[in-house]
Structure 1
Amino acid sequence: MSERFEAVFAQYDTDGDGQLTVDEVAAAIAGMFPAAEMGDLSGLVRALFAEFDTDGNGFLSADEFVPLAKNLPELGGDD
């Protein structure tokens, strides 16, 4: 994983446990968009986890985060 993705992942991994929770991903997305635009994030976050949580453990590892960041440049992964 590139240093850029490592830094972005670490920024969103607020508890530093090496994986992103649903709450951490929701907070990251909420920080990118005004609340008026997004409303309820739960459906979006569920959809993201359904697609990118490839091992189905309910968390996003750093390796699972990279494809998500590449698909959502707003997360800071746009090089």
Structure 2
Amino acid sequence: MSADYKAVFARYDTDGDGRLTADEVTSAIAGMFPAAEVNDLSGIVKALFEQYDVDHDGLLTVTEFVPLAENLPELGS
């Protein structure tokens, strides 16, 4: 796993617990689209969790985050 992905993950893991919550992912995506309303992102975040949260625990680990980051390179910018 790339150190770049770990660094991006750590930047979004604001509480440092090693897992991304829906709120942390929403904030990350909102940062990509500053004009977007956070409430408008709930459907997008839900769809991302449905696809990438492979253990369905409602959190993304760094291992689950990597495929998401590979498919959404904007997260790394």
Runs of 5+ unmatched residues, structure 1: none
> How big is the shift at 1:42?
0.2
Query: Equivalents in 1 of 2:68, 2:19: separation in Å?
Result: 13
State how many pairs are aligned.
Answer: 77
Query: Equivalents in 2 of 1:36, 1:28: separation in Å?
Result: 12
Identity of aligned residues (%): 68
Q: Deviations over 1:38-79 (max 9, x none)?
A: 7600000000000000000000000000000000000017xx
Q: Which residue of structure 2 lines up, in the alignment, with residue 4 of structure 1?
A: 4
> How big is the shift at 1:35?
2.2
SS in 2 for 1:19: coil
Instruction: Indicate the structure with greater strand content.
Output: 1
Runs of 5+ unmatched residues, structure 2: none
Going from structure 1 to structure 2, the CA distance change for 1:36 and 1:13 (only over 3 Å counts) comes to closer
Q: Which residue of structure 1 lines up, in the alignment, with residue 66 of structure 2?
A: 66
Q: Which residue of structure 2 lines up, in the alignment, with residue 31 of structure 1?
A: 31
Which runs of structure 1 show a deviation greater than 2 angstroms over 4 or more consecutive aligned residues? Answer: 34-39
Query: Equivalents in 2 of 1:39, 1:57: separation in Å?
Result: 22
TM-score after normalising by structure 2: 0.93
